[in-house]
Structure 1
Amino acid sequence: MRAIFKFFLKRPVTWIVNRVSSSPRQENVNKSLSELYQSITTNPGKKGPLFAFRPDEHPVIIFSDLHKGTRDGSDDFGVCEKTYLAALEYYNNNQYYYINLGDSEELWENLLVNVIKYNKDTFEAEKKFVERRAFAKVVGNHDLYWGNDPLAPTFLKNVYGTNVKAHSGVVLRAELPDGSLDILCTHGHQGDAQSDGNAFSKWFVSAIWGPLQGFLEINTNSPSCNDENKTIHNQYMYEWSASQKNLILITGHTHQPVFNSLTHLERLYLQLEDAKEKNDETEVNRILAEIPRRRREYNHVNTHYHSMKPSYFNSGCCCFDDGNITGIEISEGYMRLVKWTSKSGVALREVAEETHIVSLVNALASSESSQ
């Protein structure tokens, strides 16, 4: 039956997809992010909560883009499930606040009841954070259902055992010795022509358009599966965040980690220059060997990577095909990009990048004073 529908519908639907591309425009991204930030900071609760916290005392973990499926051939999360569960156990035991930054459930390709059926262990692990009142759920474009459907609150209550609200974003207000820093956390599909429109367009995408593309096996033009869109997304999110004062932005959406506004490839080029200055031949050779592999993952290097304002971060995803997951930690006064790997059945936490939040604030202030 699917083959018949694909034969008759795939071409016209693909044409429509290309005509109504999800690639955002900078002005739409700016407007959407600014409205979200203003709403949360002036009227907390309507679009998301505002939490004041001390980054040296109240740890936070941010994961995004699990895309929980039904353990079939198209389920990208299945191979990462054990690593994710081990990570959640670690963070719950250490009293972290967990922000789930969207696309947690893959609802373009699957029925919600089936996703719940095949992911009971992960929902139970997340429930432990809910019970501590240490959980915030943010909506992504692949799980827009949580923010649109009138039955969504009932499903969330059934899954987590209590009322859980789905948010458009969260603002963390880090209280520091000499002031504060606002951290806007949102999925990152803001400005997307397909999934960031009015209430009807969001419902249409979540209930009809997205599932139809999934059924017809059409590339959805999402940044996560399109290198050009990853570059566009990173650039637009960076441009907005760089124009703000005393604020950083954390998103997901692209499945591509970004730390201090730099992708892994851009950071490698900085490290290469540093190694050459130090005449560290071993490190130079290591980096030169890694760069070609990373260039297959990134089709663009920002020519201004030396001077970019450290205002944009991306948590990566929890559905890498090697079973690894990445996230953003805020703990002990540091921002960290962490990677969880599974070796010989044992989950291991690795710190890929880190910066002290006070140093980050100073770097932001320095960039702002030079603008």
Structure 2
Amino acid sequence: MSSKSRLDRAYKNAKVIPFDDSSKFILFSDCHRGDNSFADDFANNRNIYLHALKQYFAKGFYYCELGDGDDLWENIFYSHVLQAHKDVYRQIQLYFNQNRFTMLWGNHDMVYKKPEYVKKQLYSYFDKRSGTQKPLFPGIEVHEAIILKHSQTGQELFLTHGHQADWWNYVCWKWSQFLVRILWKPLNVMGIADPTSPAINYKELIKVERRIKDWIQANNNLITIVGHTHRPRFPSPNEIAFFNDGSCVHPRCITGIEIENGQISLVKWETSTTDDGTLKIVREMLEGPRKLSEYHMFKAN
């Protein structure tokens, strides 16, 4: 099956979420939450990520996580990830309890495509203090893709992880998982990165992006938002409508995409210092805001 076929299938089976100009969405991906060990890339940015989620929750945003939220390649047991970042999951739980959270699976959490695994790991967790099972995300469904569809204009935004365009990390993900656990996780602790990852391998990154752009062009310039490569992308209205929200494991910062007031923006959250030496977490607008209506569909050749 080609990358085109995989993306076609994801689009066909995507969950549709209606929205309008009053809707607010924050899109993050590639958090790669781990066990808080030296190999846990998320741990360095955890406080930035948690602060951002709290700010968005207070402002009424809907949180879409576009895959690789949990790193279940490096970590065998999800319970270890949950224990390491329980404060983060408590915040996400607030979104879930108000029906303001949707989770997609990527290559590093591809086990979530199995409903039985999701039920076992995500519906509830064992609380050591009380010795009982407590609800986490009861009844949650983890999707491969979603479509945000404007209720007035009918405009669609296609959201998925993007690894459908990466043969090795989609078709052969179990081999990748094995190699990461056995080989690359120990080497990562020593500072050696996995060269098979498109986030590290620039040539592979370009190939993945080209395949996604080809698919977008074949689908009338459908606005498509992905993660996977960790490289933020924000096109102008006269370019191919290919967006990437970046990742939450950049050095010292996280990036994401906001949709608010019928507009789309690329933002960064990072730790900054004031003149008196006080540390604070700040939000910076990297690109936008641009009106979604500026991104027009065109007929494929």
Fold shared per TM-score above 0.5 = yes
Q: 1:220 to 1:165 in 2, by over 3 A?
A: farther
CA contact (8 A) 1:184 1:247 kept: yes
- Equivalent residue runs for 1:146-295 within 5 Å: 146-148=112-114, 150-158=116-124, 160-176=136-152, 179-197=153-171, 204-205=174-175, 208=178, 210-215=180-185, 217=187, 219=194, 221-245=196-220, 247-260=222-235
Mapped partners of 2:293, 2:165: distance in 1: 31
Q: 1:359 to 1:308 in 2, by over 3 A?
A: closer
Mapped partners of 2:137, 2:262: distance in 1: 33
Give TM-score scaled by structure 1 length. 0.70
1:127 corresponds in structure 2 to 93
Matched, 1:312 2:239: no
Cα distance, 1:124 vs. partner?
0.7
The structure 2 residue matched to 1:347, chosen from 274, 281, 290, is 281
CA contact (8 A) 2:218 2:300 kept: no
1:142 corresponds in structure 2 to 108
1:50 corresponds in structure 2 to 16
Q: Which moved more, 1:82-91 or 1:206-215?
A: 206-215
Cα distance, 1:185 vs. partner?
0.5
Deviation per CA, 1:195-219: give whole Å up to 9, x if none. 433xxx65x4487455334456472
**SS of alignment partner, residue 221 of structure 1:** coil
2:59 corresponds in structure 1 to 94
Q: 1:152 to 1:205 in 2, by over 3 A?
A: farther
1:23 corresponds in structure 2 to none
Q: 1:250 to 1:38 in 2, by over 3 A?
A: same
The unaligned stretches of length 5 or more in structure 1 are 1-26, 41-48, 263-306
Mapped partners of 1:206, 1:143: distance in 2: 12
1:35 corresponds in structure 2 to 9
Mapped partners of 2:205, 2:249: distance in 1: 16
**SS of alignment partner, residue 63 of structure 2:** strand
Q: Which moved more, 1:344-353 or 1:90-99?
A: 344-353
Which has the higher Rg, Structure 1 or Structure 2? 1
Which structure dedicates a bigger proportion of its chain to helix?
1
Q: Which moved more, 1:339-348 or 1:94-103?
A: 339-348
CA contact (8 A) 1:261 1:313 kept: no
Q: Which moved more, 1:141-150 or 1:104-113?
A: 141-150
Matched, 1:108 2:73: yes
Count, aligned residues = 279
The structure 2 residue matched to 1:357, chosen from 282, 292, 301, is 292
Mapped partners of 1:226, 1:356: distance in 2: 33
Deviation per CA, 1:342-369: give whole Å up to 9, x if none. 1133211111111111222xxx24xx26
Mapped partners of 2:219, 2:269: distance in 1: 31
Cα distance, 1:252 vs. partner?
0.2
CA contact (8 A) 1:84 1:318 kept: yes
Cα distance, 1:148 vs. partner?
3.1
Mapped partners of 2:300, 2:207: distance in 1: 25
Mapped partners of 1:207, 1:334: distance in 2: 37
1:297 corresponds in structure 2 to none
Mapped partners of 2:41, 2:61: distance in 1: 26
Structure 1 residue identity aligned to 2:210: Q
The unaligned stretches of length 5 or more in structure 2 are 126-135, 188-192, 274-278
2:255 corresponds in structure 1 to 326
Give TM-score scaled by structure 2 length. 0.85
